[in-house]
Chains A and B, each alone.
Chain A
Amino acid sequence: MNGYVVAANAAVWIALGAYAAYLALRGQGIAKRLQQLEMLRDSKDK
């Protein structure tokens, strides 16, 4: 396989994969945070 083709594909797929993983992990983090904040708000309301 040609080195240029490998380099271009590696750059593209690693970057896209890393961004998708970042979105997924950050999404999980923010979902947990939202749950905590909503529980806190509900406990205050009571």
Chain B
Amino acid sequence: MPNIKILSILSLAALAVGQWFIWSYAPLEETMGVVQKIFYIHMPLAWWALVSFFVVFVASIRHLMKRDAGSDILAGAAAEVGVLMSGLALVSGSIWGRAAWNVWWTWDPRLTTTLIMWFVYAGYLVLRGSGMGGERRALVCAVLGVVAFLDVPLVFYSARIWRSVHPAVLASQGGGLEPEMWRTVLVNLGAFGVLWLTLVLGRFGLGRAEERARALLLGGREGA
């Protein structure tokens, strides 16, 4: 897929620019110092993970309505990238928590709802990989893809609804960030967005190719 090659180069370039913004452009935060720079990769990972799960939700609804293989493959691709990114957001957040709050983990609403979301979508991936038959598996996964999305708005609003030690950066105006810090956040959001698109499209293409190989294999067996 030539488009994926171009997108891969683009995402590498965008991530490099993002790194320059983090290490050379953004000022050092007064209280946390260099540890605050974890935020610039943590937040885009969490943000694009939520976008992934929204894509799973939309693709699952589409699959339930049209029963097309493409929607099912797209939902699987987005879920895989979402689980990877939310997992990394949890890991980077945990490291940040150890440096900032002196604990690796705390049962805070934002952290707890994110962990639940991670387990739900990890379960979704396990279900996708199960030996259940093709169309039946796609249907069950589509239903789970819709139901699982219930937790996503909870993750997003958890820091605002309940008392949370987790900062709600987008909720507060400016989030206590300096303009240079905001620019760094936005550049990295964009860079991780290009990476997210590359990974989802790459995984989608792979899923399509696997489907085609399966069809050829079945066709060959039926013909034999």
Chain A residues within CB distance 8 Å of chain B: 1-2, 4-5, 7-9, 11-12, 15-16, 19-20, 23-24, 26-27, 30-31, 33-34, 37-38, 40-41, 44
Contact = CB atoms under 8 A, between A and B. Distances in A.
Contacts of B165: none
Main secondary structure on A side of the interface with B: helix
Give the interface size class of chain B.
35 or more
A37 B35 CA distance: 52
Nearest to A18: B84
Interface of B: 1, 8, 33-35, 37-38, 41-42, 45, 84, 87-88, 91-92, 95-96, 98-99, 195, 198-199, 202-203, 205-206, 209-210, 212-213, 216-217, 219-220, 223
22 contacts: A2-B33, A2-B34, A2-B99, A4-B96, A4-B99, A5-B34, A7-B95, A8-B42, A8-B92, A11-B88, A11-B91, A12-B88, A15-B84, A16-B88, A20-B8, A26-B206, A34-B216, A37-B220, A38-B216, A41-B216, A41-B219, A44-B220
Contacts of A8: 38, 41-42, 91-92, 95-96
A5 B212 contact: no
Nearest to A9: B41
